[in-house]
């Protein structure tokens, strides 16, 4: 009986010791690093030999969650708040006109400016005279990008996951992103990041953000060609909805802008990485993607986080 008593006392002390040991080692300062934690710091580093541009100017602007930037005739057009401003490349205010709604995006050519609001768009002369305005497209519409394509206006609707072609204020075509191929899907748009642009060859390209793909469509809505790059490495796109914005250089090369791990890059017309305009360390960590446009070889970026238009020239 005495030995049983001693054994029980020993067993009790052992249990108390195990509990105390586990408690001490479970305190936050003692917790070991998670061996399965995913660290993307190494992907933020960019070889300096890849960087093709240098930042030469910053223009402070008042921009909120929405707005856009475009270029034409050597000037920068900036839409945000309740106005569109015309700026010189040096940042001098040349003109301004007021809007009735908050602008979400902007497109420009030599004849007109087209401002996309959340659920409709309007066209203006370069001097700010309203030419026409559409009705609300749909209750669930979220317009995220506008481009002028020949005599048509193309609209990316992230809410309906569609691209529309308008003849002034009349919709003439609706593109669903269906190619007829079994291995390709419609537009996958997990968030309000859905961009399109037209190059100097008058080709309409659309980001399929959920696939990290850029797709070329004709006026009938048929897929002509496409390329995609899915990777955390600098050569590709990662995360949700990248590239979030893109535009073209005069020779047809792509300029892409990403969010999450913000960076601006240049790709050849067939989708091969050529260079980096601005690496992640130029931007806010986990930041928004810059809207981008071009003045010749110069890249113009609207940085929503730092509230500035940033000018990058070729080295």
* For residue 135, pLDDT beyond 70: yes
Task: Examine residue 281 and state whether it is found in any structural domain, yes or no.
Answer: yes
Do 155 and 16 lie in a common domain? Answer: no
| Each residue's pLDDT tens digit, 198-247 | 999 999 999 999 999 999 999 999 999 999 999 989 999 998 899 999 99
Identify whether residues 28 and 67 lie together within a single domain: no
The domain total for the chain is 2
Q: Are residues 287 and 197 part of one domain? A: yes
In this structure, are 14 and 113 located in the same domain?
Answer: no
Q: What is the mean pLDDT of residues 131-150?
A: 97
Residue bearing the bigger pLDDT, 178 or 236: 236
Alpha helices, DSSP H, located in the chain: 2-25, 41-44
**In this structure, is residue 40 part of a structural domain?**
no
39 belongs to a structural domain: no
- How far is 118 from 195, CA to CA, in rounded Å? 14
Which residue would you say has higher pLDDT here, 162 or 183? 162
Residues 186 and 66 in one domain: yes
Q: What is the mean pLDDT of residues 148-166?
A: 96
In a domain, 212, yes or no: yes
62: CATH: 2.120.10.30
Question: Is the pLDDT score of 31 beyond 80?
Answer: no
Q: What is the pLDDT at residue 37?
A: 42
Residue 255 shares a structural domain with residue 191: yes
* 61 in a structural domain: yes
Domain boundaries, position 16: 1-32
One domain, residues 14 and 122? no
If asked whether residues 11 and 123 sit together in one domain, one would say no
Tell me: do 142 and 119 sit in the same domain. Answer: yes
Instruction: Return the DSSP state at 285.
Output: T
**Is 37 within the bounds of a domain?**
no
Is 42 part of a structural domain of the chain?
no
Say if residue 6 is in the same domain as residue 150: no
Predicted confidence band at 22 (pLDDT cuts at 50, 70, 90)? Answer: low
Statement: residue 305 has pLDDT above 90 = yes
Query: Do 51 and 154 sit in the same domain of this protein?
Result: yes
Where does the pLDDT of residue 1 fall: very low under 50, low under 70, confident under 90, or very high at 90 and above? low
Query: Which pLDDT score, from 0 to 100, does residue 12 have?
Result: 55
Residues 12 and 159 grouped into a single domain: no
The secondary structure of the chain in percent helix, strand, coil, rounded to multiples of 5, reads: 15, 40, 45
Whole-number average pLDDT of the chain: 89
Top pLDDT among 31 and 226 is at: 226
Helical (H) or strand (E) element with 224: strand 223-228
Q: What was the pLDDT predicted at 205?
A: 98
Residue that wins the pLDDT comparison between 40 and 295 = 295
């Amino acid at each position: 009986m005495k030995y049983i008593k001693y054994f029980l006392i020993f067993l009790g002390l052992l249990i108390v010791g195990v509990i105390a040991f586990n408690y001490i080692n479970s305190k936050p300062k003692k917790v070991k690093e998670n061996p399965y934690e995913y660290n993307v710091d190494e992907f933020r580093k960019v070889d300096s030999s890849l960087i093709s541009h240098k930042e030469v100017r910053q223009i402070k602007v008042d921009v909120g969650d929405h707005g856009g930037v475009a270029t034409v005739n050597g000037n920068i057009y900036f839409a945000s708040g309740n106005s569109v401003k015309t700026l010189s490349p040096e940042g001098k205010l040349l003109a301004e006109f007021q809007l009735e709604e908050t602008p979400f995006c902007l497109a420009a050519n030599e004849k007109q400016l087209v401002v996309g609001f959340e659920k409709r768009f309007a066209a203006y002369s370069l001097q700010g005279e309203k030419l026409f305005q559409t009705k609300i497209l749909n209750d669930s519409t979220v317009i995220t990008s506008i481009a002028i394509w020949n005599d048509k206006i193309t609209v990316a609707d992230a809410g309906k996951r569609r691209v529309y072609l308008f003849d002034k204020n009349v919709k003439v075509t609706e593109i669903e992103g269906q190619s007829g191929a079994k291995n390709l899907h419609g537009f996958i748009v997990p968030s309000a990041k859905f961009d399109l642009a037209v190059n100097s060859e008058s080709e309409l390209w659309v980001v399929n953000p959920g696939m990290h793909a850029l797709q070329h469509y004709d006026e009938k809505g048929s897929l002509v060609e496409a390329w995609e790059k899915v990777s955390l490495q600098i050569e590709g796109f990662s995360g949700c909805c990248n590239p979030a914005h893109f535009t073209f250089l005069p020779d047809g090369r792509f300029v892409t802008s990403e969010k999450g791990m913000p960076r601006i890059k240049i790709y050849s017309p067939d989708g091969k990485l050529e260079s980096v305009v601005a690496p992640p360390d130029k931007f806010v960590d986990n930041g928004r993607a810059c809207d981008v446009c071009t003045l010749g070889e110069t890249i113009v970026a609207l940085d929503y986080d730092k509230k500035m238009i940033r000018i990058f020239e070729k080295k």
